[in-house]
């Protein structure tokens, strides 16, 4: 079972969370007219085999969004922090 450390609630089963994808992507500036910039943001993924930073929401706990470090080749879980703080603490 994948276990995720929630900064508020401690380590919990991943089934309490909702997965929300790559956390390293940056949304284009509002009003960007270049369609390719939006295409790349919405559709293209690095999808690395290895270290990954990703969003999870603790929907069955504190409901906070967090960023988790996980290795996609092994599912080894690393640090996590609240997404709104923007950096590991």
Partner 1 sequence: MKLLSRYSGLALARRALTDSRWQRAWRSPDPKPSYDVIIVGGGGHGLATAYYLASRHGIRNVAVLERGYLGSGNVGRNTTLVRSNYLMPGNTQFFEHSLQLWEGLSHELNFNVMLSQRGQIVLAHGPGQLDVLARKGNTMRLNGIDAELMEREDVMRFLPFLDHSEHCRFPIYGGLFQQRAGTVRHDAVAWGYARAADRLGVDIIENCEVTGFLRDGDRVTGVETSRGTIHAGRTAISVAGHSSHVAAMLGMRLPIESHILQAFVTEPIKPFLDCVVSFGAELFYISQSDKGGMVFGGHIDGFNTYTQRGQFPRAQTVAECAVALIPAMSRLRLLRHWGGIQDMTPDGSPFIGRTPFRDLYINAGWCYQGFKATPATGWCLAHTIAHDAEHPLIRHLALDRHMAGNGHDEYGLGLWTYRQ
Binding site for partner 1 (CB under 8 A): 1-2, 13-15, 19, 21, 35-36, 39-40, 42-49, 52, 54, 72-75
Contact 6, 18 (CB under 8 A): no
| In the block, residue with structure tokens 């996609």 | 72
CB of 56 to partner 1, least distance (A): 8
Residue 24 CA to residue 69 CA, distance in Å, equals 11
CA-CA distances (angstroms) from residue 10 to 4, 53, 80? 8, 19, 10
Q: How far is the CB of 1 from partner 1 (least distance, A)?
A: 6
- Name which of 27 and 36 has its Cβ closer to partner 1: 36
Residue 47 or 89: the one with the smaller Cβ distance to partner 1 is 47
């Amino acid at each position: 079972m994948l276990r995720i450390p929630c900064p508020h609630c401690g380590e919990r089963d991943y089934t309490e969370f909702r997965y929300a994808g790559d956390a390293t992507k940056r949304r284009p500036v509002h009003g960007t007219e270049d369609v390719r910039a939006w295409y790349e943001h919405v559709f293209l993924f690095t999808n690395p085999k290895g270290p990954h930073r990703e969003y999870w929401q603790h929907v069955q706990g504190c409901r906070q969004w967090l960023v988790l470090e996980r290795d996609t080749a092994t599912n080894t879980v690393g640090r996590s922090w609240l997404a709104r703080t923007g950096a590991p603490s």
